[in-house]
């Protein structure tokens, strides 16, 4: 049951971030320490739609697979780990910064750990 909640929480967060990126792209990009340009706003809208879509998919996973959440949870941990590596690299090269990058990497590390630990302990029925 708790693993289902984890999918709902991360999915809901992705939906909110996607909507914020679509509706308030300037603020979303500024929070990452990026210079806002028309080209970057266009790219951000596409990424935000992808984030929104992924959020809907993540929220729906428990309904689609029932209690067979072990594999989706471990895949979720791997995807979050890939995002941690990507964001950490971008921070280390100075490509991004600011509070948006910091909050993102901290939350993504937490989600990666939770998905791996809870997925490994989960018993499919």
Task: Indicate the pTM of the whole model.
Answer: 0.89
pLDDT of res. 1: 65
The full DSSP string for the chain is: -HHHHHHHHHHHHHHHHHHHHHH-HHHHHHTTTPPP-HHHHHHHHHHHHHHHHHHHHHHHHHHHHTT--HHHHHHHHHHHHHHHHHHHHHHHTTSS-HHHHHHHHHHHHHHHHHHHHHHHH----
Q: What is the pLDDT of residues 7-18, one digit of tens each?
A: 999 999 999 999
Q: By residue range, what is the domain housing residue 35?
A: 2-121
Q: Is 31's pLDDT higher than 70?
A: yes
Domain count, the chain: 1
Position 13 scores a pLDDT of: 96
- Tens digits of per-residue pLDDT, 37-57? 999 999 999 999 999 999 999
């Amino acid at each position: 049951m708790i693993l289902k909640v984890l999918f709902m929480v991360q999915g809901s967060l992705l939906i909110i971030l996607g909507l914020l990126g679509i509706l308030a792209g300037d603020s979303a990009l500024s929070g990452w320490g990026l210079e806002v340009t028309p080209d970057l706003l266009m790219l951000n809208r596409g990424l935000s739609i992808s984030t929104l879509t992924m959020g809907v998919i993540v929220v729906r996973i428990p309904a689609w697979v029932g209690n067979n959440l072990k594999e989706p949870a471990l895949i979720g941990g791997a995807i979050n780990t890939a995002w941690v590596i990507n964001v950490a690299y971008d921070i280390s090269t100075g490509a991004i910064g600011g509070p948006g990058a910091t909050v993102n990497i901290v939350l993504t590390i937490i989600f990666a750990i939770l998905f791996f630990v809870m997925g490994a302990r989960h018993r499919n029925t």
